[in-house]
A and B are shown apart, each in its own frame.
Chain A
């Protein structure tokens, strides 16, 4: 199975700043996704990262706040822009076998704290 890594693993940021999270996979994958897991909450899908085109965002998430890049089949980035304490969360990238409804394989996550 594919090995998924994320950078950074954790960070503490000041409000108003932005953080870019990287997700690297050791093999080419078609479907990559970004999730958020707020404290005590379940995972919420932010967007599907589409290779070579704009990401597809879920309701409640917008490109200006969470810009996503997917330059190739092994790499994606998620930026959390103009951060506020409400953005404190774990951010996870995942791979899907063939669609967002299919089994997901998750990276280790990035734990973000915004002060």
Chain B
């Protein structure tokens, strides 16, 4: 069956360090993969989209990689700040061209 797996354990890091979140998927061959940020009590906010023919995408302090062989995407936040604390969701296109979300990883950036 199709699965999207994100680390369910919260990731705690110190301010200024690089946060790396992982998204693994099985039984998908997505044309692209997306990352969203969700704050408590709010709807998810789109951050980045990476296509299958792109290895890496950057936006300010954010970097996403997409390895279709490993079926994995890594999401990096460099020079992390307490304001980056949130839950980060990855999403892939699945069967029927639906967008399917992972359960998200909670990131806590501490002073």
- The interface on chain A, measured as residues whose beta carbon lies within 8 A of the other chain's beta carbons, has a size of 22
**Is the Cβ of B103 less than 8 Å from the Cβ of A40?**
yes
The reply to whether the CB of A15 lies closer than 8 angstroms to some CB of chain B is no
Q: Within the assembled complex, what's the spacing in Å between the Cα atoms of A58 and B96?
A: 10
**Is the Cβ of B43 less than 8 Å from the Cβ of A94?**
yes
The reply to whether the CB of A105 lies closer than 8 angstroms to some CB of chain B is yes
**Is the Cβ of B46 less than 8 Å from the Cβ of A108?**
no
Q: 21 interchain pairs (CB within 8 A)?
A: A4-B43, A40-B103, A41-B103, A42-B4, A42-B89, A42-B102, A43-B44, A44-B101, A45-B98, A58-B98, A102-B99, A103-B46, A104-B36, A104-B44, A104-B99, A106-B44, A106-B45, A107-B43, A108-B43, A109-B41, A111-B41
Against A, the Cβ 8 Å flags (1 = close, 0 = not) of B19-42 are 000000000000000101000011
In the complex, which residue of chain B has the Cβ closest to the Cβ of A102? B99
Out of A100, A106, A109, name the residue touching B98 (CB < 8 Å).
A100
The 3 closest A-B pairs by CB, nearest first: A106-B43, A101-B97, A42-B101
Q: Within the assembled complex, what's the spacing in Å between the Cα atoms of A108 and B45?
A: 10
Number of A-B contacts (CB under 8 A): 48
| A105 touching B89 in the complex, CB below 8 Å, given contacts A40-B103, A42-B104 | no
In the complex, which residue of chain A has the Cβ closest to the Cβ of B46? A103
**Is the Cβ of B99 less than 8 Å from the Cβ of A45?**
yes
Q: Which residues of A contact B36 (CB under 8 A)?
A: 104
| A109 touching B43 in the complex, CB below 8 Å, given contacts A43-B89, A58-B98, A100-B97 | yes
Q: Which residues of B contact A43 (CB under 8 A)?
A: 44, 89, 101
- The SS class assigned to the A binding surface is loop
Q: Which residues of B contact A104 (CB under 8 A)?
A: 36, 44, 46, 91, 99
The reply to whether the CB of B49 lies closer than 8 angstroms to some CB of chain A is yes
**Is the Cβ of A108 less than 8 Å from the Cβ of B42?**
yes
In the complex, which residue of chain A has the Cβ closest to the Cβ of B104? A42
Q: Within the assembled complex, what's the spacing in Å between the Cα atoms of A13 and B34?
A: 34
Q: Within the assembled complex, what's the spacing in Å between the Cα atoms of A42 and B97?
A: 18
Give, as a whole number of angstroms, the nearest-CB distance from B34 to chain A.
6
